[in-house]
């Protein structure tokens, strides 16, 4: 008995979604992190910061913040991209100085695990991703 071609097409369409469901989803971030924008030099007394986690430990995949003094304000966005080896990869975008007509946008990817990484640095600000303060 011959199987009509349209039965094969229907069977293929029905079975494909179940096979796709067996493929594991992209894993999320593993490490708690703090993103900090220091006004002036790194570890200056003037800064803004945010974290990628909730008090219950749930990790966020993206966030943003605005930080700086008039004429030197940054809009910073970051998002988890992927895991690479034993590190989490984040994509950062900084618009600076966002409060002026001369603003420009820069993007950069960084790998993060358990040590501070300088993401952006200029004479006005230093942006880092680091382990959270204990």
Note whether residue 19 is domain-resident: no
Range of the domain at 118: 34-130
Note whether residue 1 is domain-resident: no
Note whether residue 20 is domain-resident: no
Note whether residue 11 is domain-resident: no
10 Å CB burial of residue 50 (0-12, 13-18, 19+) is middle
Please count the structural domains in the chain.
1
- Calculate the average pLDDT of the chain: 85
**Predicted pLDDT of residue 68:** 96
As a whole number of angstroms, the distance between CA 20 and CA 99 comes to 46
Strand order in the sheet with 117-121: 47-51, 34-39, 125-130, 117-121
* Maximum Cα interatomic distance, the chain, rounded to a whole number of Å: 81
Report percent pLDDT > 70 for the chain. Answer: 81
Note whether residue 41 is domain-resident: yes
Note whether residue 26 is domain-resident: no
Query: Has residue 75 got a pLDDT over 80?
Result: yes
Which residue did the predictor score with more confidence, 123 or 12? 123
As a whole number of angstroms, the distance between CA 15 and CA 23 comes to 14
pTM score of the predicted model? 0.78
DSSP 86: T
pLDDT band at 27 (very low <50, low <70, confident <90, very high): confident
**Predicted pLDDT of residue 133:** 84
Note whether residue 18 is domain-resident: no
Note whether residue 13 is domain-resident: no
């Amino acid at each position: 008995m011959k199987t009509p071609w349209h039965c094969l097409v229907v069977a293929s369409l029905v079975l494909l979604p179940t096979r796709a469901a067996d493929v594991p989803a992209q894993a999320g971030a593993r490490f708690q992190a703090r993103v900090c924008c220091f006004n002036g030099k790194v570890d200056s007394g003037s800064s803004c910061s945010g974290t990628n986690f909730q008090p219950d430990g749930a990790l966020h995949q993206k966030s943003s913040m605005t930080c700086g003094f008039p004429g030197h304000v940054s809009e910073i966005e970051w998002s988890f991209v992927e895991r690479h080896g034993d590190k989490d990869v984040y994509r950062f975008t900084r618009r600076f100085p966002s409060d002026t007509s001369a603003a420009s946008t820069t993007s950069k990817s960084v790998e993060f695990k358990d040590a501070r990484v300088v993401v952006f640095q200029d004479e006005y600000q230093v942006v880092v991703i680091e382990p959270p303060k204990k």
